[in-house]
């Protein structure tokens, strides 16, 4: 699921960028929206924990498989943005 | 044509089924282990064909009726492909359980084909594991508003979920994601104490903890295993866990060593559990004053008994079936709610007596053909009074009356009862009937109205969910039900909730001056609570039980002269 139907909200991209930078211990400036999550070094355990942070921060409900359905940060961010709009 | 909602507990351990009728009433609920007489029934499908057939017959379902199946998990854990967390429990155990869960999720409802209730493979509804726990718990309480907390071994995403009940509608607050589980910790502790969590021996650790002393330094070491952040749990990193494991390894009990060798370790583990659970509760303190607690960890009656009045919550409600068997009820009710559009969780009246009744035909046969030498008496209308008399004369009595309890506790319908006054009664039951470790306590039953006279921190405990301190000065009167630390895991009864037991306790009080009765589950160690009339007569024949009361028929061994 890499097609972007909803353009990702900047606050979602910023939140994910900061989270991924923290989990992977790298400079947020090095993380691009079209970066592949795997290439950024995001382990599956980090992906799970990041999903929990997204639920807490944005008050939406994610399925545990959601993040694994997305290749890139932008794609995941679009999905979250769509869920935020659907509330 | 009637509609029925079939809830299936699909964890792979503790399978159970529940049936809800078209009006949203839970009309039947029973753990598979009871029907099969196989403790925990690991790996057995919750829609085991003969068991499901007997449940459908019990509620009066007929071929042609519509049956809507539902499972107690939204996801298949193994499909996520996550690396298994193996720092505490062995990875092999976790992989094994994931495989079982996948099988249960895939095959759920298939038995309806065999029984003629479906013409093609049913596609069950699937519900979030912790939501099932929460809905099942809410079904047993009349509360309209409360905090609802699930603390569990695991869940669809993590091991803790927070909900709020408002106007009997349940809304999710937050949930823990990723590894970090009080249930996993307790399973590991169980192994460290020389027991086996796969056998469900966490009970033994809780009981043993009361005999030990929690060394503060050891508690502090253990609490390094987990961090609690706003109620969310997270295991420490692998290196930290390895260091703690190495530090406590010398304290581990080998299975052959005396059980009491692990008492201090059990006490320290229980204290660590309380340290973390307190922090989880603190994260939802503003939801007070009423708390509904569910999930497997809600079976920790020692901790449960300390919550009210200490943590900001004034009352605590634990359902009779907080562990995964109870999720059969949650899944069935959620299926009914989804199908009918109902949003309020129905209150079921609070009765735990949702299982099978003794088979009348078998009982009638037993009545006429009981083995030579047994006295058979019909006590219709006076069985509580007569049972109290037997207990006062020192007899150990097995009772099988009405519908079985749903959940792990025997609450008087599938119980062994005795006099709590003799100092040697505990040893007598353990030696003659149960065959279990001598340190393990038995439960006191007393009238809710009498509770404050006997216990400190009195609060209702109709499902034996709370361990409370006995008042000083009364402990010597009921030594067989007082734990080493002066507590008792109490069951409170009233004329509405358990009329027969209330009558029996009152009659025993009149005869003896002590309105407290010893209650333990009707089984021998390692076996589930019994299921059939044949099981009850088998236990009478093969143990030191003095008599069994099945419905109102008393079958007694000859009294030694």
DSSP for B245-292 reads: HHHHGGGPPPTTS-GGGGHHHHHHHHHHHHHHHHHHHHTTGGG-SEEE
Q: Which residues of A touch B178 (CB under 8 A)?
A: 45, 48-49, 52
CA end-to-end span of chain B, whole Å?
Answer: 60
CB atoms within 10 A of CB A60: 15
Distance from CA of A47 to the nearest CA of B (A): 9
CA angle B38, B399, B57 (to 5 degrees): 60
Q: Measured between alpha carbons, how far is residue B259 from residues B246, B440, B548 in Å?
A: 21, 11, 31
What ipTM was reported for this prediction? 0.90
Distance from CA of B232 to the nearest CA of A (A): 10
**CA-nearest residue of chain B to A55?**
B174
Q: Measured between alpha carbons, how far is residue B422 from residues B109, B418, B434 in Å?
A: 50, 10, 18
Mean pLDDT, consecutive 10-residue stretches, chain B (561 aa), reads 96 97 98 97 97 98 96 93 85 93 97 96 97 98 98 96 98 94 97 93 93 97 97 95 96 92 97 98 95 98 95 96 98 98 98 97 83 86 98 98 97 98 94 84 95 96 97 96 95 96 98 98 92 95 94 89 60
Q: Does A19 touch chain B (CB under 8 A)?
A: no
The answer to whether A64 contacts B232, with C-beta atoms less than 8 Å apart, is no
**CA-nearest residue of chain A to B172?**
A61
d(CA B53, CA B47): 9
Centroid of chain to Cα B290: 21
pLDDT per residue over B389-424, tens digit each? 999 999 999 999 999 999 999 999 999 999 999 999
The answer to whether B157 contacts A48, with C-beta atoms less than 8 Å apart, is yes
Q: Does A52 touch chain B (CB under 8 A)?
A: yes
Q: Which residues of B touch A49 (CB under 8 A)?
A: 177-178, 234
CA angle B24, B21, B340 (to 5 degrees): 50
**CA-nearest residue of chain A to B233?**
A49
The answer to whether B178 contacts A44, with C-beta atoms less than 8 Å apart, is no
Q: Does B82 touch chain A (CB under 8 A)?
A: yes
Confidence check: pLDDT of A4 > 80: no
Q: Does A65 touch chain B (CB under 8 A)?
A: yes
At B196 the pLDDT is: 92
The answer to whether A51 contacts B157, with C-beta atoms less than 8 Å apart, is yes
Q: Does B130 touch chain A (CB under 8 A)?
A: no
Q: Does B105 touch chain A (CB under 8 A)?
A: no
Confidence check: pLDDT of A3 > 60: no
Q: Does B174 touch chain A (CB under 8 A)?
A: yes
Strand partners, B26: B20
The answer to whether A45 contacts B177, with C-beta atoms less than 8 Å apart, is no
The answer to whether B157 contacts A56, with C-beta atoms less than 8 Å apart, is no
User: How many alpha carbons fall within 13 Å on the CB side of residue B208?
Assistant: 24
pLDDT per residue over B384-395, tens digit each? 999 999 999 999
Q: Which residues of A touch B230 (CB under 8 A)?
A: 56
Which of A61, A64, A65 to probe by mutation at the B interface, max B CB count within 10 Å? A64
pLDDT band of A2, cuts 50, 70, 90: very low
d(CA B378, CA A2): 74
**pTM given for the model:** 0.95
């Amino acid at each position: 699921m890499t097609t972007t139907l909803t353009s990702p909200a900047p606050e979602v991209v910023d939140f994910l960028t900061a989270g991924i930078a923290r989990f992977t211990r790298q400079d947020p400036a090095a993380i691009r929206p079209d970066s592949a999550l795997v290439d950024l070094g995001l382990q599956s355990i980090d992906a799970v924990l990041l999903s929990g942070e997204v639920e807490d921060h944005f008050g939406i409900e994610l399925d545990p498989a959601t993040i694994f359905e997305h290749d890139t940060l932008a794609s995941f961010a679009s999905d979250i943005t769509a869920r935020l709009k659907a509330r | 044509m009637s509609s029925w909602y079939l809830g299936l507990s699909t964890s792979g351990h503790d399978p159970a089924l529940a049936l809800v009728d078209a009006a949203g009433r839970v009309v039947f609920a029973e753990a598979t282990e009871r029907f099969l007489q196989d403790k925990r029934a690991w790996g057995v499908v919750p829609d085991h064909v003969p068991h499901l057939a007997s449940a459908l017959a019990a509620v009066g379902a007929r071929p042609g009726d519509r049956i809507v199946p539902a499972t107690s998990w939204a996801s298949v854990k193994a499909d996520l492909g996550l690396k298994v967390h193996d720092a505490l429990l062995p990875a092999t155990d976790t992989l094994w359980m994931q495989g079982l869960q996948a099988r249960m999720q895939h095959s759920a409802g298939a038995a309806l084909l065999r029984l003629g209730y479906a013409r093609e493979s049913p596609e069950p509804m699937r519900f979030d594991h912790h939501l099932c726990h929460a809905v099942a718990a809410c079904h047993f309480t009349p509360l309209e508003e409360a905090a609802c907390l699930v603390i569990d071994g695991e869940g669809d995403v993590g091991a803790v979920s927070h909900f709020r009940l408002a106007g009997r509608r349940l809304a999710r607050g937050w949930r823990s994601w990723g590894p970090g589980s009080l249930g996993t910790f307790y399973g590991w502790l169980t192994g460290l104490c020389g027991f086996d969590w796969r056998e469900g021996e966490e009970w033994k650790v809780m009981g043993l903890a009361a005999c030990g002393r929690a060394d503060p330094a050891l508690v502090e070491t253990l609490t390094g295993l987990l961090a609690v952040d706003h109620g969310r749990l997270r295991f420490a990193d692998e290196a930290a866990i390895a260091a703690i494991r190495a530090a406590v390894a010398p304290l581990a009990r080998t299975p052959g060593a005396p059980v009491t060798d692990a008492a201090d370790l059990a006490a320290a583990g229980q204290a660590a559990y309380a340290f973390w659970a307190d922090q989880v509760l603190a994260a939802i303190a503003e939801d007070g004053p009423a708390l509904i607690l569910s999930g497997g960890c809600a079976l920790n009656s020692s901790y449960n008994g300390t919550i009210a009045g200490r943590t900001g919550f004034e009352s605590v409600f634990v359902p009779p079936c907080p562990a995964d068997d109870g999720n059969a009820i949650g899944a069935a009710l959620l299926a009914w709610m989804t199908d009918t559009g109902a949003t309020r969780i129905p209150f079921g009246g609070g009765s735990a007596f949702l299982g099978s009744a003794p088979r009348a035909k078998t009982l009638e046969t037993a009545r006429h053909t009981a083995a030579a030498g047994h006295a058979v008496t019909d006590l219709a209308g006076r069985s509580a009074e007569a049972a109290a008399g037997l207990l006062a004369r020192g007899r150990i009595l097995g009772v099988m009356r009405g519908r079985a309890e749903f959940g792990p506790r025997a609450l008087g319908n599938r119980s062994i009862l005795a006099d709590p006054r003799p100092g040697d009664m505990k040893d007598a039951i353990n030696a003659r009937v149960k065959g279990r470790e001598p340190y393990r306590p038995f439960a006191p039953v007393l009238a809710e109205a009498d509770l404050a006279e006997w216990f400190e921190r009195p609060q209702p405990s109709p499902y034996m969910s709370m361990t409370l301190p006995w008042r000083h000065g009364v402990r010597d009167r009921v030594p067989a039900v007082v734990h080493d630390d002066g507590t008792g895991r109490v069951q409170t009864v009233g004329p509405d909730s358990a009329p027969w037991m209330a009558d029996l306790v009152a009659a025993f009080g009149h005869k003896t001056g002590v309105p407290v009765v010893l209650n333990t589950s009707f089984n021998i160690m390692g076996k589930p609570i019994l299921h059939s009339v044949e099981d009850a007569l088998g236990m009478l024949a093969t143990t030191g039980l003095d008599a069994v009361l099945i419905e109102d028929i008393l079958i007694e061994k000859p009294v030694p002269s």
